[in-house]
C-alpha cells in the first residue's frame, strides 16, 4: 500500500511518528510526504529549514519527501489541502491519502466535504461574512444551521478541518485516491498543553531552545537533528524575521497591499495605516485584527507581502513536483512516479529550464524566500542555498 500525506513537520514530533508508524505497520507499505518549505501555513517561517526537516522525516520512516511549492504552503487551509492532494494525485503511483483525525471517521468527513461544496452552504457563509463575522465563525454557524450539531462539532477540530479539506480537494480534482484516517492521540494541534509523550508542534516550538524540555516529545532521530541545529544556530530567530518583515512592509503602498491574496474591501488601507503607526509585529497584528479578520489570516497576508506573492501567483495551478529526499524504497517509488506523473518532477534546478514560465516564476520566488529565510536564522546562511543544496538521501 502506498500512502501519501501532506505535512509541515515543524518540527517532526512523536505525533508525526505515530502517524507514520501506523501506516508503515501495513505490510510492504510506503509513505510519501508532501511537505511545506521554509514558510508555513500558520503565516510564519518554519522553525528549521526544509532540508533539516526532510532529514527528520526520512530518519523517522517516511520514504519519499516532496516539496509543496511556496505560494500554497502559506495559503488558507482549503488551498493548502487542495494543492497538497493535487501533488499526491499527480504522481499516479499512490493508493491513499492519510492523515490524523480526531473523529477518525472517513464517512463523516466525506459527508461534511460534500456539504461544504453545496451552494446553500456557500451562500449562507457569504451572508454571515457580510454581517461582519470571521470566516471560521461563519463556516461553523452555517454548518450548524444547515447540517446539524454533529457536523458543526466536527469542524471545530483542527485535524478534522484539514481532513475535510483533503477530502473536498480530492473531490474537486476527481481523484481516484481513497483516504485513510488515523485516530489522533495526545495534544491537539496548537494545544498549549502536553499529554504523555506527545505535545503539539506549536508548544514544542515555544520551547525549541530548551532541549531538555523538548526531548521527550520528539523521536530520538528527530531530536539529534534538532539538537545540532540548535547548537549551530540553525533555528529561526523570530525577532529577526519580524524586523525584516516590518522593514519590507514599510516600503509598500496601499496599491501593493491590494494585490495580495485575501485582501479586499479596503483592507489594504487598514494594513497600510497600521504599518505606518506600529513599532512591532505584535502591535501591527493587533491594529489590523478585527472580528472579521483573524490573526492567522492577517499573518498570511503580511507574509504574502514579505515574499511578493500576489493574487495572480496564488491562482496559478501547481506547476511541478520537486523532490527533497528519499530512502532506498523511496528511490524505487520515485522511479515509477517519474514514468507516470502528470506533473513534471524536478530533482535539480536545471530541470526547470524546460518548464513553463509560471513554474520558473514560482521557483524564483522559492529562491528569494530561501535567501530571506537564511538571514533570519540565529546564525545566518549565505545566499543561493535553494540552487546548491542537494537532495537528501538516507541509506
CA distances from 248 to 40, 47, 95, 153, 305 (A): 19, 21, 43, 40, 8
Q: pLDDT category, 192, cuts 50, 70, 90?
A: very low
Rounded Cα distance between 381 and 90, Å, is 34
Rounded Cα distance between 166 and 78, Å, is 8
Q: Cell 479578520, residue? A: 293
Quick check: 91 and 58 in contact, CB under 8 A?
no
pLDDT tens profile 42-94: 999 999 999 999 999 999 999 999 999 999 999 999 999 999 999 999 999 99
Helix-helix angle 267-276:295-307, to 10 degrees: 80
Rounded Cα distance between 289 and 295, Å, is 6
Helix-helix angle 295-307:357-375, to 10 degrees: 100
Mean pLDDT over residues 110-133, rounded? 91
In this predicted structure, the answer to whether residue 32 has a pLDDT above a threshold of 50 is yes
In this predicted structure, the answer to whether residue 299 has a pLDDT above a threshold of 80 is yes
Length of the chain: 395
Which pLDDT belongs to residue 195? 54
Average pLDDT, the chain: 93
* b/e code 14-41 from CB counts within 10 Å (16+ = b): bbbbbbbebbbeeeebbbbbbbbbbbbb
Instruction: Classify the C-alpha dihedral 46-351-354-66 as positive or negative.
Output: negative
CA distances from 273 to 246, 267, 311, 312 (A): 13, 10, 21, 24
Q: What DSSP character marks residue 316?
A: S
Rounded Cα distance between 24 and 26, Å, is 5
**DSSP characters over 326-338:** E-HHHHHHHHHHH
Rounded Cα distance between 33 and 56, Å, is 12
pLDDT tens profile 209-245: 778 888 889 999 999 999 999 999 999 999 999 999 9
Judged by average pLDDT, the poorest of 187-196, 198-207, 367-376 is 187-196
Show the domains of the chain with their CATH numbers. Answer: 2-102+158-236+317-393 (3.40.50.620), 114-154 (no CATH), 238-313 (no CATH)
Could you tell me which of 314, 325, 360, 327 has the C-alpha nearest to residue 50? Answer: 325
Quick check: 281 and 245 in contact, CB under 8 A?
yes
Which pLDDT belongs to residue 196? 63
Rounded Cα distance between 393 and 395, Å, is 6
* Residue 150, CB-side half-sphere exposure with 13 Å CA sphere: 9
Name residue 323's beta-bridge partners.
66
Q: What DSSP character marks residue 377?
A: B
Which pLDDT belongs to residue 61? 97
Instruction: Tell me the three cell numbers of residue 135.
Output: 470566516
In this predicted structure, the answer to whether residue 187 has a pLDDT above a threshold of 90 is no
Quick check: 20 and 52 in contact, CB under 8 A?
no
Q: Cell 516564476, residue? A: 361
pLDDT tens profile 3-28: 999 999 999 999 999 999 999 999 99
H-helix or E-strand containing 273? helix 267-276
In this predicted structure, the answer to whether residue 135 has a pLDDT above a threshold of 60 is yes
Amino acid at each position: 500500500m502506498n500512502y501519501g500525506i501532506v505535512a509541515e513537520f515543524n518540527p517532526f514530533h512523536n505525533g508525526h511518528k505515530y502517524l507514520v508508524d501506523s501506516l508503515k505497520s501495513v505490510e510492504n507499505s510506503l509513505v510519501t510526504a508532501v511537505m511545506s518549505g521554509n514558510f508555513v501555513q500558520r503565516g510564519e517561517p518554519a522553525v528549521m529549514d526544509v532540508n533539516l526537516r526532510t532529514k527528520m522525516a526520512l530518519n523517522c520512516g517516511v520514504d519519499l519527501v516532496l516539496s509543496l511549492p511556496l505560494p500554497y504552503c502559506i495559503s488558507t487551509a482549503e488551498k493548502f489541502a487542495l494543492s497538497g492532494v493535487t501533488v499526491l494525485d499527480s504522481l499516479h503511483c499512490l493508493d491513499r491519502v492519510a492523515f490524523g483525525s480526531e473523529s477518525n471517521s472517513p464517512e463523516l468527513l466525506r459527508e461534511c466535504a460534500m456539504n461544504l461544496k453545496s451552494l446553500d452552504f456557500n451562500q449562507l457563509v457569504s451572508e454571515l461574512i457580510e454581517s461582519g463575522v470571521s470566516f471560521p465563525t461563519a463556516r461553523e454557524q452555517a454548518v450548524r444551521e444547515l447540517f446539524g450539531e454533529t457536523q458543526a462539532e466536527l469542524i471545530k477540530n483542527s485535524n478534522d478541518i484539514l481532513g475535510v479539506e483533503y477530502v473536498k480537494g480530492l473531490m474537486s480534482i476527481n481523484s481516484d485516491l481513497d483516504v485513510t484516517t488515523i485516530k489522533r492521540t495526545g495534544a491537539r494541534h496548537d494545544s498549549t498543553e502536553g499529554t504523555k509523550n506527545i505535545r503539539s508542534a506549536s508548544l514544542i516550538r515555544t520551547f525549541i531552545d530548551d532541549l531538555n524540555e523538548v526531548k521527550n516529545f520528539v523521536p530520538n532521530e528527530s531530536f539529534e537533528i534538532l539538537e545540532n541545529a540548535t547548537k549551530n544556530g540553525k533555528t529561526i530567530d523570530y525577532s529577526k524575521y519580524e524586523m525584516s518583515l516590518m522593514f519590507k512592509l514599510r516600503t509598500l503602498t496601499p496599491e501593493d497591499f491590494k494585490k495580495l491574496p485575501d485582501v479586499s474591501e479596503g483592507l489594504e488601507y487598514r494594513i497600510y495605516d497600521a504599518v505606518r503607526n506600529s513599532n512591532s509585529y505584535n502591535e501591527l497584528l493587533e491594529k489590523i485584527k478585527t472580528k472579521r479578520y483573524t490573526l492567522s489570516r492577517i499573518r498570511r497576508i503580511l507574509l504574502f507581502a514579505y515574499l511578493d506573492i500576489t493574487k495572480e501567483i496564488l491562482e496559478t495551478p501547481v506547476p511541478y513536483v520537486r523532490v527533497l529526499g528519499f530512502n532506498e524504497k523511496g528511490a524505487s517509488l520515485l522511479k515509477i512516479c517519474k514514468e507516470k506523473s502528470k506533473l513534471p518532477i524536478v530533482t535539480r534546478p536545471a530541470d526547470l529550464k524546460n518548464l513553463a514560465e509560471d513554474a520558473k516564476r514560482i521557483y524564483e520566488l522559492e529562491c528569494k524566500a530561501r535567501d530571506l529565510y537564511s538571514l533570519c536564522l540565529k546564525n545566518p546562511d549565505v545566499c543561493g542555498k535553494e540552487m546548491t543544496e542537494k537532495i537528501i538521501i538516507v541509506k
